Amino acid sequence: MSFDSLLDKNDKLVKVCGIQTVEAAETALQAGADLIGIICVPNRKRTIESAVAREISKLIHKSGTTKLVGVFRNQSVEDVHRLSEEYDLDIIQLHGDESWPEYYNVIKKPIIKRVIFPRDVDVVTQVCQRKPLVCLPLFDSEAGGTGEKLDWSSISSWASEQNNVFYILAGGLTAENVMEAVGLPGVIGVDVSGGVETDGVKDNDKIIKYVQNAKKQ
């Protein structure tokens, strides 16, 4: 699988991340999310339990459309590969300082690579030139999941000056601002976690509203 087929079917990819319950996964699925993310980094507040991850995987794969993303951060290729198989992940998201080709060459699944603006803009331009499209860049904060909004103005100005660059945008997204986000130059996807939570727990109503608003464009 590559991202080409996904993007052929969707104008923008809508991702809900940090899912920890089957109920939240089902809500995101029914709302129409294209990507559902689970945190596979140990000892984080949103780390998925193994049994729940397997249940969510079964649910998502029955849908036939939504893809399951496993999020990792500076973990070994071996660990990522093992969990990729155990949870039957469709896509691997690398949120640390990893060299994404090293992981792709072993795991052979599409990669979402977290990048920092403006530090990693060269990575973005390189990735966007590859065919087939097996890696998508994701602009986010250093840690991710913090609710910190990025500098949309600077990112938009940079993207407008480039030739055919695209990226997923994360960081501080909510149902209230996601319609603006999907219209920014270069944005082909949006990614939310904390922005659809209430008191640190996924809020079904917020998930539904977020996905609906993201899909309105």
Residue ranges per domain, the chain?
3-215
Integer angstrom CA distances of residue 77 from 33, 92, 107, 123: 28, 11, 8, 20
pLDDT, tens only, 63-86 = 999 999 999 999 999 999 999 999
What residues pair up with 37 in beta bridges, in sequence order? 69
What is the reported pLDDT for 11?
Answer: 85
What is the rounded distance in angstroms from the CA atom of residue 68 to the CA atom of residue 15?
A: 10
What is the rounded distance in angstroms from the CA atom of residue 8 to the CA atom of residue 191?
A: 19
What is the reported pLDDT for 38?
Answer: 99
3-215: CATH class: alpha beta
Confidence of residue 163 (pLDDT cuts 50, 70, 90): confident
What is the reported pLDDT for 217?
Answer: 66
What is the rounded distance in angstroms from the CA atom of residue 187 to the CA atom of residue 14?
A: 11
Angle at which helices 50-63 and 77-86 pack, to 10 degrees?
60
pLDDT above 80: residue 196: yes
Residue pointed to by tokens 């659809």 = 196
Q: What is the mean pLDDT of the chain?
A: 96
